[in-house]
Amino acid sequence: MIRLTIVLLFLIITPCTVSAQGAWQKRDILHLMNKSAQWQMQQPSKYPVLDWHEGTWYAGLTALYETTRDSRYYRYLCNMASTHDWQGMPDIYDADRLMVVQTYLDLFQLEPDSQRMLYSKWVLDAHVGRRPKADVRFIDNPYRREWWSWCDALFMAPPAFAKYYRLTGDEKYLDYLTEHWRKTSEYLYAQPENLFYRDDRFLDARSPNGAKVFWSRGNGWVLAAIARICSELPTDFKGRPRFEKQFVEMAASIRACQGADGLWRASLLDYDAFPEPECSSTALFCYAFAWGVRTGLLDADTYLPVVKKAWAGLSSHVNAEGRLGFVQPPGIEPKAFSEENWESYGTGAFLLAGCEILRLLDGPELRETYGKGVLLYENKLADTTDVRGWVMEGPGKLSFKNDWMEMYAEQQQWHHVLWCPKTFPDSFIAEWEVQNLYREAGLLIAFFAAAGRAGEDLFDSSLPPREGTFKYYTKDQINSYHISYYANNPKNPAREFAHLRKNSGFALVQTGAEGIPKQSPAVHRIKLVKDQSRIYFFIDDRKIIDWTDAGTTGGPALGGGKIGFRQMQWSHFRYRNFRVWSLVHQNRTQHGT
């Protein structure tokens, strides 16, 4: 009997162990997300379709579409939005009403159409234009729903302002976001616990076992919100360090509360009061931790096991139909619930987590392999004085508006290249921001390591003159690498992928991922890394190019040289914040194992 019992236990336990291990494979993660999303799409809405519950589900489904490009998900989202004329609920100052605005802005970026933007702009401008002093008290405050007076609000509203900044480049939206985040944090963020109270009704509350009440999902909302906000922020935004500091502090406290099964409970400091696993908070934590590891903000050795355990735990509670169970119903504090409880926002958070894990598994990110050393060059590109000494070749024109440099050719006359006069070494990290102002056609290229074929300076008088014609840059007397990272050529409309070429000779050495989407109106963050013979290129932290020059094409790997921006005659882009650092190596951590 004892032996039979052992065998039965082995048979019961073994499938769970295999499932947990298999759950970390990319194909299994994607399969589980698709199954969960398709199940959720078939369920009738429990709540108003424009409120936060469904809005969180839309956020997860948007992430899944961006990951898979499965048109079913895009159609579902667009049908929801168009059915409601891209509008929201009437009480526009309630943070919960901005959750759906986040989806509208994401869909606008995927397919710019003014109809998708009108309502969102109106609502966000109404917030920014208000002058009354924020009052984040919840108790006895008749206006509590008009300010971010409960911690959930930090997930629902602030990312909308960050996303709209990305589309416009107007920092007033970030200023509003950071000012009001600060006010809520000063009121509800508890130290030394480094956790958020849900609202001021819980400042003195105690759990059944006498612990302070820090609601798990409430803190999940906040931690995930920081990840969503920072994904939109410039790396040098003045308010970013405060967000990152708070994220790291909270992550350490939340990590310490993870259960042995990888899941968190409804009350972070009193698991015995509500011992059921809570999957919506777990999914939010899993998403945020995966983002933190991927971007290098969290130590991979410490937090990657946390992510793996969390995903395995979540996966074990997705049933055969795709329903994620053990999700606490809407509320304001820890409560009892069961495995049968499911919610659309739980599915949305689950999809956010899975998509972020897939990005993590795509490979180690820049910050884990390299660091920025000495700042070699900095230029805001904000006015004419900033580009004194820069060299324009071809009929390109420059204008300066709102601290941006615009580059174009009048009457779309001809192609052109703008060169930075500084010569950079063979290893560097360069960053800049760029935004497309004419989406009908264009081609955008970055030249780097550019020098004469005999090692001359690019502007040496012995080199033949150049006036924008491509062959003089690719098949003549200069060497360089170049990456085309926006391609919308009317003569080749099907091409969307980034190309890395080595010159002189115009040798295509790598076809990378999709560059800047053809119709994207957003501000995009560009990062170019050259580590001697290895080249990386990122758009918004998405790796586009990763290639090592082994010297088998076009001679030895190229060394130092100049950086230039090239546009085809139809293009009209604007640029700002061009910076170049020396490169220093850091320890490399692999995520896939």
Query: What letter does residue 558 receive in the DSSP assignment?
Result: P
Q: Which residues are CB-neighbours of 157 under 8 A, at least 6 positions away?
A: 95, 98, 99, 148
Active-site residue, selected from the candidate residues 152, 199, 200, 270: 152
Question: Dihedral through CA 330, CA 332, CA 338, CA 340, nearest 10?
Answer: 10
Separation between Cα atoms, residue 273 and residue 282, nearest integer Å: 18
Separation between Cα atoms, residue 391 and residue 151, nearest integer Å: 51
CA distances (Å), origin 197, targets 40, 187, 194, 234, 581: 30, 9, 10, 29, 41
Helix or strand (DSSP H, E) at 393: strand 391-393
Instruction: Answer for the pair 100, 58: CB distance below 8 angstroms, yes or no.
Output: yes
Instruction: Answer for the pair 485, 498: CB distance below 8 angstroms, yes or no.
Output: yes
Separation between Cα atoms, residue 416 and residue 569, nearest integer Å: 7
Q: How far is CA 214 from the centre of its chain?
A: 27
Q: Which residues are CB-neighbours of 318 under 8 A, at least 6 positions away?
A: 32, 35, 36, 324, 325, 350
Asked about 152 being catalytic, the answer comes back as yes
For 593, half-sphere exposure in the C-beta direction (CA atoms, 13 angstrom radius) is 2
Instruction: Answer for the pair 54, 344: CB distance below 8 angstroms, yes or no.
Output: yes
Instruction: Answer for the pair 315, 25: CB distance below 8 angstroms, yes or no.
Output: no
Separation between Cα atoms, residue 476 and residue 506, nearest integer Å: 10
Q: Which residues are known catalytic residues? A: 152
